[in-house]
Amino acid sequence: MQVKKLSVTPFITSSVMAALIMATLMVATYSQSASARSILPEQNDAAAARDAVGDSMSKLEDLNKRIKSQEAVVAKEQERLQQYQTEKAQTEQDLESRKAIFEQKSKVLDEAWKSRSNY
């Protein structure tokens, strides 16, 4: 009769191997999570900075448009001011000449009253 030899080694080896494989997988999974640091804060910071740049560019464009518009208004008002100043100078000249004519006509009237009184 032959006695069969029981082999305990394959059972131990396969369970040890399974545990070893399982441990390796767990270590790999957890170490990857630990070493793969989250970059979400940096992404959020970069997005906020990009938005701030966009906001500043929009504000600058708006201000440039307002400045250009205001410069046009100022140029138009300066032209109007120049017209008023020219008109004022002409009116002052007219006033002076009309005063001179009035003084002359007043003298003539005074002379007429005097000559009437003499009759």
Q: Is the dihedral of CA 75, 81, 83, 86 positive or negative?
A: negative
Asked if residue 10 belongs to a domain, the reply is no
- Report d(CA 42, CA 37) in Å as an integer: 11
pLDDT of residue 2: 59
Helix runs in the chain, H state only: 9-35, 40-117
The domain in which residue 59 lies consists of 53-112
Place of tokens 């989250």: 38
Asked if residue 46 belongs to a domain, the reply is no
For 9-22, write each residue's pLDDT tens digit: 554 567 777 777 87
Asked if residue 73 belongs to a domain, the reply is yes
Question: Structurally, how many domains does the chain consist of?
Answer: 1
For 58-105, write each residue's pLDDT tens digit: 999 999 999 999 999 999 999 999 999 999 999 999 999 999 999 999
Looking at residue 118, the DSSP 8-state letter turns out to be: T
Q: What mean pLDDT, rounded, does the chain reach?
A: 86
Looking at the predicted structure, is the pLDDT value of residue 41 above 70?
yes
pLDDT of residue 84: 98
CA R_g for the chain = 52
Asked if residue 85 belongs to a domain, the reply is yes
Asked if residue 102 belongs to a domain, the reply is yes
The number of residues in the chain equals 119
pTM beyond cutoff 0.85 = no
Write the CA distances from 82 to 68, 75, 76, 100, 104, integer angstroms.
21, 10, 10, 27, 33
Q: Three-state DSSP class for 14? A: helix
